[in-house]
Structure 1
Amino acid sequence: MRRAQRAMAVWPPAMLAVFALFPSLAHAAGLDGATLSPIWGLPFAGILLSIALFPLVAPAFWHHHYGKIAAVWGALFLVPFAMQFGVHAAVANTVHALLGEYLPFIVLLTALYVVAGGICVRGNLHGTPKLNTCILALGTVLASLMGTTGAAMLLIRPLLRANDNRRHVAHVVVFFIFLVANAGGSLTPLGDPPLFLGFLKGVEFSWTLRNIFPETLFICVVLLAVFYVVDRHYFLNREEELPVAQDPTPDSRGLRIEGKINFVLLLAVVGLVLMSGLWKPGIAFDVMGTEVALPALLRDALLVVVTIASLVATPRAARSGNEFNWEPILEVGKLFAGIFLTIIPVIAMLKAGTDGAFAAVIRAVSDPSGQPIDSMYFWATGILSSFLDNAPTYLVFFNTAGGDAATLMTRDASTLAAISAGAVFMGANTYIGNAPNLMVKAIAESRGVRMPSFFGYMAWSCVVLLPIFLVMTFLFFHV
């Protein structure tokens, strides 16, 4: 902290104001979760129920006012919090939630959305079960290399075009979310935010590849096999395909790619993420208790530059060919702003451990002697990651398991594997478990696909994913 204060002292006030605009993944402004009642979690529960119910009971109202609804729930947390703990505490925790967590999240997400959305695959293939399975497999591999968001945004539009002559497409998108937007991102810190936070905490870049590859291979192979069977069932239905005259994008023999400059920009995004984890100059700036580290500051500033460069350099025809629009990222941005704000007390109560309102959850992951129970870490991390943001949930259980990367990578490697697998794999359980889930849903709906409701999607995940997770528990994690 003293070093950060000395660094701040050499910067003029105008520059400090500029630094305050940029985010970092830093430590939270102090909030003692042990003093909080579970009632503080009601606004968070409210925004989750709004996301689940409004599209069912009032879809038109929700489509036009979801941002306002998220803002109302944020205010219902923030105003009472300020009255109870003071304006300074409310502002400090809001600054941390927005600068320290939300803005890094949305800046990276926007960069990947814009860059991947500038790559247009011209031509169209026929959406057979074999082709669809191959596209899902390709996306699953790419997810660990370019992030679940990047892989999902790159492939979802070609996949939808390939299947736009079929009546049943929702199941294709659901399995795409399971695989490309979640499970595929489990092998490197580039794949999913929880693993990137572990990387920043000292977990080696290749650790997850070496330690949860069998789990990843198992769930991905099983999901691809199940998808092929389900898709083949629909495909063999004689009334499955629309008449040729009604096919919005007829099949073509060749494919070509427009907007190739965005592949270079994708590499730039990957490089910036790696830079922020590997470069540790020890310089940080304090913004109301939130430390803004220089590497993260530079990463996010340059990600904005990459986003602008993509918008300028991408041919207009490429984006129009993708029917690119801002609505999916706006929906994610507005809803997750409310989620990141209302989740503040929930994460604080979890961090309070056995002294907080969720003491039962924390106690459940250890036996009477204090030794970790890997299966419980897998399920506790996974279930909470399904409804909370999986990045802070990962950190909560990372710290509950000891918080020392060197120990967790060696003596307690099985426990860290359980935490990592739970955070990444079970993010597929709900639309809000991982940000790309909601983006893929929005893009599919904008293309006319009738996607399952919040609870309808959970029905899919309960039927398909939960049995796989149960088998994985006995195969890979100590019970």
Structure 2
Amino acid sequence: MGFFVRTALALGMLALPLAGHAAEIDGRALNVWWGVPFAGLLLSIALFPLLALRFWHHHFGKVTAAWTLAFFIPFAVVFGPAAASSGFVHALVAEYIPFIVLLTALFTVAGGIYVRGNLRGSPALNVGILAIGSVLASLMGTTGASMLLIRPLIRANDNRKRVAHVVVFFIFIVSNVGGSLTPLGDPPLFLGFLKGVDFFWTAKHIFPQTLFVVVALLALFYAIDSYLYRNEGVLRRDPTPDTPTFGFEGRINFALLAAVIGLVLLSGVWKSGVAFSVAGADVTWAGLARDIGLIVVLLVSVRVTPKEAHAQNQFGWGPMAEVAKLFAGIFLTIIPVIAMLRAGVEGPFGPIVSAVTGADGQPIPAMYFWATGLLSSFLDNAPTYLVFFNTAGGDPQTLMTVLAPTLAAVSAGAVFMGANTYIGNAPNLMVKAIAEDRGVDMPGFFGYMAWSGAVLVPLFVVMTFIWFL
């Protein structure tokens, strides 16, 4: 942690004298080699837990910082300190800080709610929790719903011999697909909301796709879980027997959760002016009020949550710290990748952009679905959504009407396919970290992709033929 913080502070000090020199990186001036640090970080996340788990557990922050420096130092030498520091500050102010503040607030508030009761991890109960989570994900965000339900779900199944599949389907449904109906559900949709997409547009236009995927996943999960339940049984002794009375500890956090939702919604509807600019990143009064309000909510939650609720949840900052470090590296090393994508057909990734447009110049919804989805599987799905939102014209009124199938394809691709890998969406890593902390033997990076490839990809192919061709 200390090494990573010192590195960030050093880069920040480099950036301070140059914060006013806003300069957007021209992706046309880059080549694909600038994406190597980003690819290296992704491979580190994928391979180190498999090949050197102990080393990764103790040094993943240092590895992340090393890949970040592997991008920034050469970039500063080639393009100058001004361009490097501007990119760093812009990513920090415009993207990372709002992202991590919201994520930490949801993690803290949801982690202060303890669900007690005599929960037994039968297939029917597990399906019920997943179904409830799929609804909550669009109301309180995939992060909030995941943090609220993953602990009671793991606790309910802690006398089962095999639990990893339960967590994998939880990531599919609650941490991703379920958040596809409102801007509160997933960051890409919130960015679309800020760009002018109506609040209920996604609910109206991709509800059938969402219902199809959720129902199919629940049915498949029930079949798999029932088979394992019958053939493996349960341990005779429940390691953490629940109290017989169902209820909640830390109920004050429900009110704080409503405050989080209200602050996020307010920042989208309050058309405030710019408070100040840093390296080309405009910080609005609405965004500033949102982030300060979220920090206050976070601190209040820590203060007022009963110690018993945190103790029962085994609440700790470890999973949040891991996500914060890894996504700091992802947000920074992704800078040249996003710049190359934004360069469109004139950039190094021109073939990708050209592939989504027909000979008549009109967008091809099926190609937008897969291009957005596949990139969202490995890049952060929020900036990927913006890239293809702008590639399709960027006019929300046109996209919501004439090009509605294209916007639906971009929205579904960004949210649904964030479930394809652990790094496709922030809650994925958080849920994995919590599950492993509770002793669940989770699949590695490629093992998880084997699950998503076998379960999710066939569903996405069927979706393509039904809705996007």
Q: Which residue of 1 aligns with 2:87?
A: 93
Aligned length: 451
Between the aligned partners of 2:290 and 2:361, the Cα distance in structure 1 is: 39
Aligned to 1:467: 458
Is structure 2 residue 224 aligned with structure 1 residue 233? no
* Residue aligning to 1:373: 364
Deviation readout 1:51-105 (Å, 9 max, x if unpaired): 0000000000000000000000000000000001110111110001111101111
- Asked whether 1:397 is paired with 2:391, we answer no
Backbone CA RMSD of aligned residues? 1.3
- Distance in 2, Cα, partners of 1:281 & 1:100: 16
Measure how far apart 1:260 and its partner are: 0.4
Tell me the residue number matched to 1:176. Answer: 170
Aligned-partner Cα distance in 2 for 1:316–1:459: 39
What does residue range 374-453 of structure 1 map to in structure 2 within 5 Å?
A: 374-453=365-444
Q: Specify the alignment match of 2:351 in structure 1.
A: 360
CA distances 1:412-435 after superposition (whole Å, capped 9, x unpaired): 001000000000000000000000
Q: Deviations over 1:328-374 (max 9, x none)?
A: 00000000000101000000000000011110110010111111100
CA distance in 1, matches of 2:214, 2:180: 11
3-state secondary structure, aligned to 1:236: helix
Q: How do residues 237-386 of structure 1 correspond to structure 2 at under 5 angstroms?
A: 237=231, 239-244=232-237, 247-386=238-377
- Aligned residue identity for 1:50: S
**Alpha-carbon distance, 1:156 to partner:** 0.3
CA contact (8 A) 1:382 1:425 kept: yes
Alignment counterpart, residue 69 of structure 1, candidates 63, 67, 74: 63
Q: Specify which of 189, 195, 202 is matched with residue 196 of structure 2.
A: 202
Task: Please state how far the C-alpha of 1:240 moved relative to its aligned partner.
Answer: 3.0
**CA deviation profile, 1:237-279 (whole Å, cap 9, x unmatched):** 1x331122xx212254321211000000000000000000000
The one-letter code matched in structure 2 to 1:446 is D
**1:124 and 1:249 in contact (8 A); partners too:** no
CA contact (8 A) 1:29 1:290 kept: no
Matched, 1:149 2:143: yes
Measure, in 2, the Cα distance between the counterparts of 1:61 and 1:264. 41
User: How far apart, CA to CA, are the structure 1 residues paired with 2:205 and 2:419?
Assistant: 21
Q: TM-score, normalising length from structure 1?
A: 0.93
**Contact 2:356/2:367, CA 8 A, preserved across alignment:** yes
Matching residue's letter, 1:95 = V
Do 1:373 and 1:415's aligned partners in 2 also have CA atoms closer than 8 Å?
yes
Cα distance in structure 1, aligned partners of 2:136 and 2:282: 33
Instruction: Provide structure 1 residue ranges, at least 5 long, that are not aligned to the other structure.
Output: 1-16, 22-27
Q: C-alpha displacement at 1:281, in angstroms? A: 2.1
Q: Confirm or deny: 8 A CA contact 1:124 1:161 kept in the other structure.
A: no
Kept in 2: contact 1:149–1:436 (CA 8 A): yes
Runs (4+) off by over 4 Å: none
Deviation of 1:123 after TM superposition, in Å, equals 2.7
Task: Give the conservation status (yes or no) of the 8 Å contact 2:274–2:282.
Answer: no
What is the percent sequence identity of the aligned residues?
67
